[in-house]
Structure 1
Amino acid sequence: MPKPGGWGQNVTKKLATLIGKIARFALYPLAVVLVVSATYHLYFANKIIPGVVLGGVKVGGLTLDQAVSKTKQQELATKKEFTLWDQNGKNYSINLAEIDLAYDWDLGVRRAFEVGRTGNFITDTKDKLAGFVKILSVPAKYTYNKDLLGGQIAQIRSAINIPSISAGISLAKEGKLEITPEVYGKSLDEKALYDTIRICLDNMDRTDKTLAVEDDNPQYTKKDLEGIINQAQNIISRPIELSYQTNRYVLQAEDLVNLMRIGSSNGKAEINIDKTAFENLHTKIASDLNKLPLGQVVKEQDGRVLEFKIIQNGLEIDRGKMYTRFKQAFFGTEKSFAIPVKEIQSSKNGTEYGIFTLLGRGISKFTGSAQGRITNLALAAQRTNGVLVAPGKEYSFNQAIGEISGKTGYATAYIIAQGRTVLGEGGGVCQTSTTLFRAVLAAGLPITSRHPHAYRVGYYELESPVGFDASVYQPSLDFKFVNDTSGYILIQAATDTTTNTLTFDIYGTPDGRKVEISEPKLYNVYAPPAALYQDDPTLPKGVVKQIDFSAPGGTAEFTRKVTRGDELLFEDTYKSVYRPWRAIFLVGTKTN
């Protein structure tokens, strides 16, 4: 029989021995892992971990200096451009030398060295193991000029893009409408192109690439419009006539076609009124019919208005009603209607306009002017006299005085046109705009459109330094300003033929603004060219007639500063470049 406790002791001893062996075997792999890990970290302590590729260059296992050297050598050996192919086999180049491309390999290598060294045990371990079986790609670091690259892409865009054109309706012969067919287009996918370029730069990849080009389909096709061509033909079959008192506006077939816009409803094409074309029509008619309210300062003392009154209510087109009636005429059978207008009512004393103080005054002299010139400047002054400009609104001199022509009352006098002083309708009106310009300057109001004359005009320097003039020539040249005050602005003009003086006063609500205008500087002064004498067979021999007058050239410049307390509201500079002007004489050669 075994001794008591002997069997249990043997089992325990054997078990302990077994556990010891198992522990020794288990520690061997752990020891191996620790040794391998220590060897790995020791070997790659100053090197980039395996598998890292920077900008398309294998840098795993290299020191920082070795990696910088290798990437720089690879850049030198890499092409400076790559080719892009479109769907038609045409190629385009992106020239990297012309976009100021600069790689920063020092920065890129530091970023590559950080792979596996982020401090996150799981991420770093995964990257270190993955580097033995796959590429760990790190994009290169670089800079380039975006504008220069954009210029190259713009050239590719202009060569590839073909804009689509929707089918349309046009007027053919004999008042018949026809459908112009659609055009299918192409469009460069610029986002995809930029992504392609970025990838190429990231990896120093200069292999050929394919451009992404998208179809640009028209919104409407000929088939879409076949269902509305008959309706369009009915719309233009008769002209539309708009009228107000003696004013008539007749819209013919061509006008009505221009007022059409193709739209869609429930997926089908339909005819609408083109809002832009209608707005242009409204603006044209409004320039004839709309009348601003007219006011008058009856009494003032030391610049303070003692009595103001409305002398004429304003008139304007009721735009909403006009559109409704036009739409009825456009799509209906009744093709004529009266233009709806509404009167701009004012109180008897006009206190709501805020005309309390003289804000600015402009003066000019017309001494020596011909009668036709005086007639014109006085007529223009009369037609803008009393105009009230609402807060926030822009004043237009051309709109205020209306059309300048013989049929509107203007006489023939000398004007500047096509580089010469010639007789024309409305000569002298520029003195009116010049005088108003001076008043607006003094009032401290923002000027949005002002044009100097082509040459210096003696009339404008009788009561003013050089450079304080404003030319107008309809419809291109206009004088405009904005009322940026809290109340209305009143323009009041007076023509005194006894003293040959034209005066403009600007009235409104004072807001504490102060105006400082510098003395003008005159530089680059040129003497006028020698006089020119031209034979004229229509003048009797021996007769000499001066038709143009000399003036020195030069550049005049002054500034205006508008402040309120310590606040600078705005500061503007007015520069006038005057050409030297020669005198021209006609010499008669007629003998009988």
Structure 2
Amino acid sequence: MLTNIRKFLKQPSIKRWVLKFLVVAFAFSSLVFLSILVFNIYYWGRIYKGVYIANTYVGGLVPEQAKNLLYNNLNGLNKTTLSYDNQNYDIYLDDIDFSYDIDKSVSSAYKLYRSDNIFYDQTNSIKSLTKNVVLALEYKLDEQKLKDNLSIIAGQITTNDPVFPSLNLVNGEVVIKRGVPGEEVDYQKLISLIRKNLAIQQKNILPIPVTKIDKTLDDEGVKKLEAKAMSLVNKALSLKFEYYNLGLIDKDLVPLTLVNNDQQDNLDVLITRIEKEVNREPQNSVFVFQERVLEFSPSKDGISVDKENLRKLMLQNIEELADGDEKSFEIEIPVIRTPAEITTAEVNNLGIKQLIGSGSSKFVGSIPSRIHNIGLASSKINGTLVAPGETFSFNQRLGDVSAFTGYKQAYIIKDGRTVLGDGGGVCQVSTTLFRAVLNAGLPVVERKAHAYRVSYYEQDSAPGLDATVYDPLTDFKFLNDTEGHILIQTIFDPKKFSLIFEIYGTSDGRKSQITKPIVSAVISPPEDLYTDDPTLPTGTIKQVDFKAWGAKVSFNYSVERNGEIIYEKTFISNFRPWQAKFLRGTGPAN
């Protein structure tokens, strides 16, 4: 067969035909190559033919020419116009910090068909000779300012605003409003229209899109919501993170069951409120020491609430409360952490590396002088360093408590009575430190409970977690049995009626535990006592002491490290019943 092919090709006529074909093919290829070469040489440094930036033709121009042309065409553009119901509304571009990025726009046009894919680039650049391409203008604007402007405009146009359903618990009764259908501006669609119009410079008056909203509840929906709401009566949910604690009772929980996935609902509003309280920036540590700690700020992670997970957790817990027999649940608020750049351990060599314990108390209802004394006394303890093996004495550290040292008169327990005396409120400070010491797992050397139950110390705590002091008879002491120094810090917040103690040191792995206080031998207060007082006008009654129930309260405190109990103690408080006392005026009437 090969022999026959060779014979065929040796014929003179065939040889001439093959030669002609090769010449023509070579000539055509050369022409194509030359055309492509000329094309590429011409457009070297130029934008390819057929390219528009918005409505400005820039094909065949060098970038600088294209920039100048765009500047001229865009000069004077200062607003975009919206329309609704034959009424126009202008958004001025300066009000939304709008600006075109001409350099970037021209750069995008020039880079068109200039990638690393030679075949793709060459094919499409040649197609541009007969096919136009329109590129969007690059620009920048302040999205929030645009939304703010649109909100103002939306408030000016007349639509039948929808009324969304509401659900509340009022005096134990479920109150449901079904809602009313209506219309509202479709912000997402409107912003998209504005962006597109600015990008391609159509210069059209844009109609404001309005969408119909109907979230009204039908009979079945009302019935389901009512049943769920009633199942939440007398239920509670607590949300906690560090010192933040938000308690929600039934009237707070019921509105949260009305979930709206399209609009901001009650749960979104609550989570935003939590964010404002919990979120914080990372905090670098500061440590200034001259014989005592003059300035200390521990390093703290930046915190932002994990909104999606918190919403999921809350809905899940509310559902479980509604369906089950449990009366309350507690949620640890999920957060996203950002580490500080400078940690506590990096700014000192005393072994103060981390938070090892904390305690808190509330003093809502305190008179101003008592609040003043709490702040003053806590400032005396703030910044205290306790060396390894040292026993801390509250009284010794606090020093003299009198008017001479800045304390004011507030109520104290003295000689079996509640009377005004210098330094009333100091026991709030010793009580809070006692709680921090328990949390840190440190040995308590000396502690005495109050003579009777004080309402301040049970605002956020079970009874029996208090510690009274009265120099020189009664002190609060604890031992630093760790291998490093410990530092005591106070956070006093009179606006929130809150006091917090934080103890910093080096954790050795110990963990403390206290059992739930057991209240027994409860004794009712004696009958009210009235004493005649001739210094008061007749008919005047003045209460000078307040009743309190007597009780015995006990709890166990244990500290474990590496699976071994290293310290344990039982704390017993014997609170006497306390009699309300009144002065009855017998003197001349005013």
Range class of TM-score, shorter chain? 0.3 to 0.5
TM-score by length of 2: 0.43
TM-score by length of 1: 0.43
Instruction: Report which of the two structures shows the higher radius of gyration computed on alpha carbons.
Output: 1
